[in-house]
Amino acid sequence: MVASLLLAFSAQHLSKVADLVGEWEGESICVNRKVAPNCHDEHVQYIVSKSKSGDAHLVANKRVDGKWESMGNLEFHYDKDHHQWRADFKNSRVTVRWEFDAEKDRITGVLRQFPEDAVVRKIDVHRTGKRH
């Protein structure tokens, strides 16, 4: 019985780029203002497509005054060891890693900031029904 439950759980976990392709919308909430004091809660939209390298290309937007505003693009790869979609980002101010768990029509995850290794954001988005 345990084996069948584990099989059912793993079958729902999305590990293929094709399963992520489409539009997703939901919330990105700040959870650690000590580490990220300038963080703002956001209503977000993610548009996922397959990149030339075969990974997941994510276009991130946030809702500002009723309109979508671009936040940028990320390339996510599936980390088999952690069973997560991950994307690293670094600039002169910050080094972060997006860690997403995808199941059917929902993606949940966190934004982890380094070198603190602190979770600064929690993400919860749902498929909008639009697939590209």
Measured CA to CA in angstroms, residue 76 lies from 23, 39, 42, 48 at distances of 15, 22, 20, 10
- pTM metric for this prediction: 0.85
| Confidence (pLDDT) at 131 | 59
Classify residue 98 as exposed, middle or buried by CB count within 10 Å of its CB (0-12, 13-18, 19+): buried
Say if CB 69 and CB 61 are below 8 A apart.
yes
Of all residues in the chain, what percent carry a pLDDT higher than 70? 87
| Confidence (pLDDT) at 6 | 42
Pick the CATH number of 2-127 from 3.30.450.40, 1.10.3470.10, 3.40.50.740, 2.40.128.120: 2.40.128.120
Cα–Cα dist 24/131, whole Å: 9
Q: Which of 39-43, 52-56, 124-128 has the lowest mean pLDDT?
A: 52-56
